């Protein structure tokens, strides 16, 4: 395993090809090679987007999870363009990750979160994007959760699905859940559920 760092990359030129809600840059760069020395100048397109954060909501008393369902243009050619997902959103300047997941839980699901536990941070697609994703699991009472949520001015049409943990894992195993944050969150919960039940279960 290498100990190379960003100091082993020389960005010769960086230009913005497109600027919209997201940005597309073209980088001309060279990087250190495993055999030694710097490699030739290469070009790479980079999809630039803000950091994001997501949360899997878990009710320990009913052993159930909350997943939202909404249309995703990136899944247009998939068998399931309406994705089952965890609650997620972009981090605005001045916001903490915890603030974002609590805000998004209210906006996207009408749920107030209790205890939060950070799972990990990861790069969803480092081959072409600089996005960093923070993943959490949170405790909440899901007895009354449900309905349609989201901000109409942002074109959001979000359905809340509350299902047992076993139902969620069955959906994962048969491929109905196929986006990385949701897969990672459910698999982490499967490994850590006994510990969370001991801490969060009231009865």
Q: Is 154 a catalytic residue?
A: yes
Max Cα separation, the chain? 63
Question: What pLDDT shows up at residue 155?
Answer: 87
Residue 32, judged by CB atoms within 10 A of its CB (0-12, 13-18, 19+), counts as: middle
Choosing from 15, 98, 154, 156, which is the catalytic residue?
Answer: 154
Mean pLDDT of the chain: 96
pLDDT tops 80 at residue 121: yes
Q: At CA 70, angle to CA 180 and CA 130, rounded to 5?
A: 40
* Nearest residue to 64 via CA among 181, 146, 177: 146
Please provide the CATH number assigned to the domain covering 52-200.
3.90.79.10
3-state SS class at 167: helix
pLDDT in tens, 11-46: 999 999 999 989 999 999 999 999 999 999 999 999
pTM of full prediction above 0.85: yes
Domain ranges of the chain: 6-48, 52-200
pLDDT in tens, 152-185: 888 889 999 999 999 999 999 999 999 999 999 9
């Amino acid at each position: 395993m290498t100990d190379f760092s960003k100091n082993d990359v020389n960005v010769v030129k960086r230009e913005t090809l497109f600027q919209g809600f997201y940005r597309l840059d073209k980088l001309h760069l060279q990087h250190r090679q495993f055999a030694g020395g710097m490699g030739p100048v290469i070009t790479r397109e980079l999809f630039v987007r803000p950091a994001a954060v997501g949360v899997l909501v878990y009710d320990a008393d009913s052993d159930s999870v909350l997943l939202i369902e909404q249309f995703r243009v990136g899944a247009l050619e998939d068998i399931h363009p309406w994705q089952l997902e965890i609650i997620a959103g972009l981090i605005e300047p001045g916001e903490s990750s915890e603030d974002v997941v609590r805000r998004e839980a209210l906006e996207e699901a009408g749920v107030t979160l209790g205890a939060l536990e950070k799972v990990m941070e990861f790069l969803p697609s480092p081959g072409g994007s600089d996005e960093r994703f923070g993943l959490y699991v949170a405790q909440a009472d899901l007895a009354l959760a449900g309905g349609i949520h989201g901000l109409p001015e942002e074109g959001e049409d979000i359905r809340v699905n509350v299902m047992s943990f076993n139902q969620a894992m069955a959906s994962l195993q048969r491929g109905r859940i196929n986006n990385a944050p949701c897969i990672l969150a459910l698999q982490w919960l499967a490994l850590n559920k006994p510990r969370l039940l001991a801490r969060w279960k009231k009865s």
